[in-house]
Amino acid sequence: MTERTQWHESTIPMDGQQILIRTRHLPNGWDWQVRMGEEDLDNPAGLADTQERAISAALHEAAGRAI
C-alpha cells in the first residue's frame, strides 16, 4: 500500500453544505474518506468490496453525523 494511490473525488450536496467523498482502490478493497465542512471522517468500518459500496458507506457515515 502506498500513499501514491489515486483518490477519486465526488462532491455531493447534503443539508445545505457540500460533502466531499474520496474513494481509492487498494489491493484488498476500496477505502473511503469524507470531508464535511472542516470535519474529516475516515473509514471506521474496513474496506468495501466495490467502489459503490464504499460510496454508500461514506454517505451513511456522513448522514449519521449530519443528524
CA dihedral over 47, 48, 49, 52, signed as positive or negative:
negative
59 has pLDDT over 60 = yes
Q: Is residue 3 part of a domain?
A: no
Per-residue pLDDT of 4-57, as tens digits, reads 679 999 999 887 888 999 999 999 999 999 998 888 988 888 899 999 999 999
The total number of structural domains in the chain stands at 1
What pLDDT score does 66 carry?
Answer: 72
Q: Is residue 1 part of a domain?
A: no
- What pTM did the predictor assign? 0.80
Q: Is residue 25 part of a domain?
A: yes
Maximum pairwise Cα distance, the chain = 36
Q: Is residue 16 part of a domain?
A: yes
What pLDDT score does 49 carry?
Answer: 96
Q: Is residue 36 part of a domain?
A: yes
